Structure 1
């Protein structure tokens, strides 16, 4: 795809002081074209996509989830998920980094007090900050100890820190042994003692910057603590897990859409029918048509379930601290349904892409393998079996999933 400039995006932003949802999606499509123009080479190279992350920053899309009272675009999560999906069609690694920025913004909104929310989000808009993640609640190697003047000292390592490298701020968690719970804080990435390692080396999602972050005697001031240890987790606080799981759903759907579109293009423009086929073209082959029909149904089911869950998440997230346990539970069930469907769609479409394109489809210049590698890497985030278990329990007994950071 040919390289495009930001001229279209800038014109849209200037022409609309408060862009509509359609304007934001058009901006996202322009950005997706930019990412797609280098996606194959960058996927094969790996490393940190500094230039592309600056394109995301320049697009204005980092302000989407920030309320208008703090200078942001004030858009609902249902729109943010649509943007994530469009970016993921072209580059699911950068879509992941973009989505996790907004997930950290939601952490401030869900965990922070009024002063913290105003400070962090106003600063994010004014300085065009990019947020990264060092929360990983399953990795308890980073320990929080009380500082005599208030706040904490963070010490230790944290893994799977998506978007931390190249970020301006991070949300960080540390294990507090006395209370057997987490401390969550918002910190500048360049805070003394914070070291972001360049050690992310996976078969897919190669530019998510999801490596290790080390904390060495990192001072956390009291006003930087978003969630104190031992504090009861409300349904609203647990709602962050819903937003995170739905990020994954839309990444999977975007990968499936990207693979499906690439298969279509190849079939219509380059593929040749099998020599024993009577079809005049690959697209006219009934076996190829059958595959497309089956994959279309899988993709459509994932899209519809993802959209339904996105609308539900956006509606309840807007209630803030008033979110109830039932509302969180209903959202978790809708997300589990969408996650099962999107998981299968992403893996099956990215795999059958090769059955459709045939032997020439494995040429490196096409980069078709990135869809499967990205899907396979990301669908391992948390076991699908437990989503199916939760859906089974809800079906049989009406039990909502137990609130955790993954459900």
Structure 2
């Protein structure tokens, strides 16, 4: 097991975060792969969190996994993203695979502390799969493949060549013909390795294909992957905002000079700073409250497995969407407004405080909250659940 008690698990997480935080700012400037930090996560045993206790795991619920993701995001949102997506990819086996595949990949992951990477991006349909006698032959290039670099297992998706659907599979990341690109150049989330993966006649075996994959009225459970993905990003965003808030408070109290006409001795006594911190605190607390609600709904929905109904899935979608809107708006506000309460010197490159805003802004552009608000409005006014998609 990772830890014998809840307190011991908290110590493992705290120790990991302390190490990651030491180099977080400098690594953000450099970009590239957080190899050392990924290996620290492997050694911590936390990649086994969702595994059964018989495999050395904790059989943790989503609330626990998401909480740890959020704690990591306070110091390093890129590593938090990688950590959360590991569990998203592993959970995809249960959503799309057979019981035998769940057992195999869960045990393998726990025994080897395998780190999972993503080449699943549902919006990118440029990867094709051709049927062969032994399985499938995959060809093409996939974008936004977070965590593919330095991964041990890769969750992939490809369009069947005959147009009859999608192949979803799990393959070793070092499979011949897999080329993981070092081409991620966003101004935020610089160490998520969210670039491309190319497939050059990659062989996929029958046993690696998640054959139970179907999305229809009888398998609503498969669509819950969307809510897990959304929840992971919610926690990355909220953790990032909380981290920014914490460093800003410390800076304001120790570095910021009082304004010349403020008539106070310290910046912490400035009535405008006090007001701004109070308002941002309220917004963060509101986001935290909604996050707890949506986590509880997600845990209950996940527990239903294949018994989950369309209506229950819809309620989960609304809970997650509501939280996402609040968290996005709060995170953008907090990571921007901290400079207003820290002052001009806080924009110095030595502090790299802009990384909090850059990382939040990058994430929020991949999933516009305008559509979340539209869905919530339709539900509120017309009792219509969001259309099932990769983002709702």
TM tier, smaller: over 0.9
3-state SS of 1:319 partner: helix
- Superposed, 1:256-295 pairs within 5 Å as 256-295=241-280
SS in 1 for 2:226: helix
SS in 2 for 1:75: coil
Deviation at 1:27, TM superposition (A): 2.1
The normalised TM-score by structure 2 is: 0.96
Q: How does 1:299-318 map to 2 (within 5 A)?
A: 299-318=284-303
Determine whether 1:240 maps to 2:225. yes
Q: In the aligned structure 1, how far is the partner of 2:300 from the partner of 2:370?
A: 28
Residue 15 of structure 2 corresponds to residue 19 of structure 1? no
| C-alpha deviation, 1:399, in angstroms | 1.1
Cα deviation code 1:213-244 (max 9, x no counterpart): 00111111111111467764721100001000
SS of the residue 1:155 aligns to: strand
Aligned to 2:71: 86
- How far is 1:45 from its partner? 0.7
| Whole-angstrom distance in 2 between the partners of 1:55 and 1:70 | 20
How far, CA to CA, are the matches of 2:199 and 2:212 in structure 1? 18
> Among 149, 154, 157, which residue is 2:141 paired with?
157
Q: Is the 8 A contact 2:98 2:211 kept in 1?
A: no
Distance 2:215 2:59 in 1: 29
Alignment of 1:135-214 (within 5 A): 135-149=120-134, 151-214=135-198
TM-score by length of 1: 0.93
Tell me, what secondary structure is at the counterpart of 2:210? strand
Write the distance in 2 (CA, Å) between the matches of 1:248 and 1:367.
22
Contact 1:156 1:214 in 2 (8 A): yes
How far did residue 377 of structure 1 move? 0.5
Q: In structure 1, list runs of 5 or more residues that go unmatched.
A: 1-11
Equivalent residue of 2:149, what SS?
coil
- Is residue 55–residue 111 contact of structure 2 (8 Å, CA) maintained in 1? no
- Cα root mean square deviation, aligned: 1.5
Structure 2: how far apart are the matches of 1:38 and 1:135? 30
- Tell me the distance in 2 between the aligned counterparts of 1:176 and 1:267: 56
Inter-CA distance 228–318: structure 2 relative to 1 (3 Å threshold): closer
User: Quick one: distance in 2 between partners of 1:175 and 1:289?
Assistant: 55
Structure 2: state its 5+ residue gaps. none
Q: Aligned partners of 1:334, 1:78: CA distance in 2, in Å?
A: 14
Deviations 1:150-169 (A, max 9, x none): x2111100000000000000
Q: Distance in 2 between matches of 1:224 and 1:281?
A: 62
Please give the residue correspondences for 1:258-407 in structure 2 after superposition, counting only pairs within 5 Å.
Answer: 258-407=243-392
Structure 2: distance between partners of 1:343 and 1:287: 24
The answer to whether the 8 A contact 2:136-2:206 is kept is yes
CA distance 1:231–1:404, shift in 2 (3 Å): closer
C-alpha distance in 1 between matches for 2:388 and 2:5: 36
Which of 50, 57, 67 pairs up with 2:42? 57
Deviations 1:173-202 (A, max 9, x none): 001243442210011001111110111111
What is the deviation of 1:70?
4.1
Distance 1:60 1:230 in 2: 32
Instruction: Look up the match of 2:84.
Output: 99
Alpha-carbon separation, structure 1, partners of 2:272 and 2:211: 56
Give the conservation status (yes or no) of the 8 Å contact 2:215–2:223.
no
Which of these residues, 129, 148, 157, is aligned with residue 114 of structure 2? 129
**Matched residue SS, 1:190:** coil
**C-alpha contact (below 8 Å) 1:180/1:230 kept by paired residues:** no
Deviation, 1:85, is 0.5
Q: 2:202 aligns with which of 207, 218, 238?
A: 218
Kept after mapping to 2: 8 A contact 1:181/1:230: no
Residues 131 and 167, structure 1, Cα contact 8 Å, conserved in 2:
yes
Give distance in 2, aligned partners of 1:343 and 1:310. Answer: 16
| Residue 73 of structure 1: how far off its partner (Å) | 1.5
CA gap 1:70/1:112 in 2 versus in 1, 3 angstroms: farther
- Tell me the distance in 2 between the aligned counterparts of 1:23 and 1:368: 32
Query: 1:35-50, aligned counterparts within 5 Å?
Result: 35-50=20-35
In 2: Cα distance, 1:231 partner to 1:393 partner: 23
Query: CA offset at residue 59 of structure 1?
Result: 1.3
